[in-house]
Amino acid sequence: MCGIVGYIGAKEKKEILLDGLQELEYRGYDSAGIAVIEAEHLNHFKAVGKLSNLREKTKEFHTDGFGVSIGHTRWATHGKPTELNAHPHLGQYSYVVHNGIIENYSELKKELQANGVAFLSQTDTETIVHLFERYNAVAASPFDAFKQTIERLHGAYATLLITEAAPETIFFAKNGSPMLIGLDGSDIYFASSDTPIIGKAKEVYYLEDGEFGYAKEGKIHLFDRNGVRQIVTRALASDKAMAQKEGYRFFMEKEIYEQSSVMSDTMIGRVKEDGVVFEELDEGFFDGIEQIKICACGTSYHSGLTASYLLERLAKIPCSVEIASEFRYKEPLLLPNTLFVTISQSGETADTLEALKMAKKAGLKSLSICNVDNSSIVRESDGVILTRAGIEKGVASTKAFATQAMVLWMLSLHLAKLRSALSPQRVAEEISAMLHTPKALIVSDELHGRLHRLSKRYLHGHGFFFIGRDIFFPLALEGALKLKEISYLHAEGYPAGEMKHGPIALADSELFTIALMPKTLHYEKIKSNVEELSARDSTILAISPEPFDLADDFIQTLSAAHPMLEFFEMMVVTQLLALEISVRLGNDVDMPRNLAKSVTVE
521 binds ligand AGP (CB under 6 A): no
397 binds ligand AGP (CB under 6 A): yes
The stretch among 50-58, 84-92, 395-403, 560-568 that binds ligand AGP (CB under 6 A) is 395-403
User: Is residue 352 a contact point for ligand AGP (CB under 6 A)?
Assistant: yes
| Piece of the chain touching ligand AGP by CB under 6 A; list 214-222, 291-299, 465-473, 511-519 | 291-299
Beta strand pairing call for 539-544 and 511-516:
parallel
Nearer to ligand AGP, 163 or 352 (CB): 352
Q: How far is CA 505 from CA 161, 256, 532, in A?
A: 56, 34, 11
CB of 34 or CB of 378, closer to ligand AGP: 378
Span between the terminal Cα atoms of the chain, in Å? 11
Tell me which of 174, 200, 399, 597 is the catalytic residue. Answer: 597
Rounded CA separation 156/291 (Å): 31
Give the integer Cα–Cα distance in Å for 30 and 51: 9
Question: Which of 101, 129 has the CB closer to ligand AGP?
Answer: 101
Q: Residue 495: which H helix or E strand, with range?
A: strand 491-495
Q: In the set 125, 136, 163, 344, which binds ligand AGP (CB under 6 A)?
A: 344
> Catalytic site residue 319?
no
User: Which of the stretches 293-301, 496-504, 521-529, 566-574 binds ligand AGP when contact is defined by CB under 6 A?
Assistant: 293-301
Subset of 448-487 contacting ligand AGP (CB under 6 A): 485
Rounded distance between C-alpha atoms, residue 537 and residue 596, angstroms: 37
* 387 near ligand AGP (CB under 6 A): no
Residue 576 touching ligand AGP (CB under 6 A): no
Q: Should residue 395 be labelled a site residue for ligand AGP when binding is judged by CB under 6 A?
A: yes
Q: How far lies 581's CA from each of 402, 458, 553, 577, 578, in Å? A: 21, 7, 15, 6, 5
Part in contact with ligand AGP (CB under 6 A); list of ranges 51-59, 147-155, 285-293, 344-352 = 344-352
Of 551, 555, 568, 562, give the one whose Cα is nearest residue 521: 562
474 within 8 A of 305, measured Cβ to Cβ: yes
Residues 478/299, Cβ–Cβ less than 8 Å: yes
Question: To the nearest whole angstrom, how small is the minimum distance from the Cβ of residue 557 to ligand AGP?
Answer: 22
Under rule CB under 6 A, residue 345 binds ligand AGP? yes
Q: Which stretch binds ligand AGP (CB under 6 A): 119-127, 249-257, 297-305, 308-316?
A: 297-305
User: Backbone phi, then psi, for 183, in 5-degree steps?
Assistant: -130, 140
From CA 446, how far away is CA 144, in angstroms rounded? Answer: 65
Q: Does residue 375 touch ligand AGP according to CB under 6 A?
A: no
Total number of residues binding ligand AGP (CB under 6 A)?
15
Helix (H) / strand (E) element for 149: namely helix 142-152
Burial 112-140 (b: 16+ CB within 10 A, else e): beeeebeeebebbbbbbbbbbbbbbeebe
Kindly state the smallest distance separating residue 398's Cβ from ligand AGP, in Å.
Answer: 8
Measured distance CA(292)–CA(408) in Å, rounded: 12
The residue among 27, 37, 14 whose CA lies nearest residue 393 is 27
Among 128, 276, 526, 599, binds ligand AGP (CB under 6 A): 599
Identify which of residues 561 and 595 has a Cβ nearer to ligand AGP in the complex. 595
Rounded to an integer, what distance in angstroms lies between the CA atom of residue 561 and that of residue 563? 7
Interacting residues with ligand AGP between 298 and 337 (CB under 6 A)? 298-300
Task: Tell me: does residue 396 bind ligand AGP (CB under 6 A).
Answer: yes
**H or E stretch covering 215:** strand 211-216
Minimum CB separation of residue 347 from ligand AGP in Å reads 7
For residues 218 and 39, give the distance between their C-alpha atoms in angstroms, rounded to a whole number.
17
Pattern of binders to ligand AGP over 100-139, x per CB under 6 A? ----------------------------------------
Q: How far apart are CA 11 and CA 172, in angstroms?
A: 20
CB of 438: closest distance to ligand AGP in angstroms?
Answer: 22
When asked if residue 18 is in the footprint of ligand AGP (CB under 6 A), the reply is no
Across 118-202, where does the E strand assignment appear? 155-163, 169-175, 180-184, 187-191
The whole-angstrom separation of Cα 363 and Cα 261 is 38
Q: Which stretch binds ligand AGP (CB under 6 A): 15-23, 273-281, 294-302, 327-335?
A: 294-302
Taking CB atoms, the residue at the shortest distance from ligand AGP is 298
Catalytic entry in 2, 295, 297, 370: 2
Residue 182 vs 298, nearer CB to ligand AGP: 298
Binding of ligand AGP by 58 (CB under 6 A): no
Q: What are phi and psi of 59, to 5 degrees?
A: -50, -45
Is 59 an active-site residue? Answer: no
Q: Does 578 bind ligand AGP (CB under 6 A)?
A: no
Q: Residues 193, 349, 403, 437: which binds ligand AGP (CB under 6 A)?
A: 349
The nearer residue to ligand AGP, 346 or 412, going by C-beta atoms, is 346
Site residues, ligand AGP (CB under 6 A): 297-300, 344-346, 349, 352, 395-397, 485, 595, 599
Catalytic residues: 2, 597
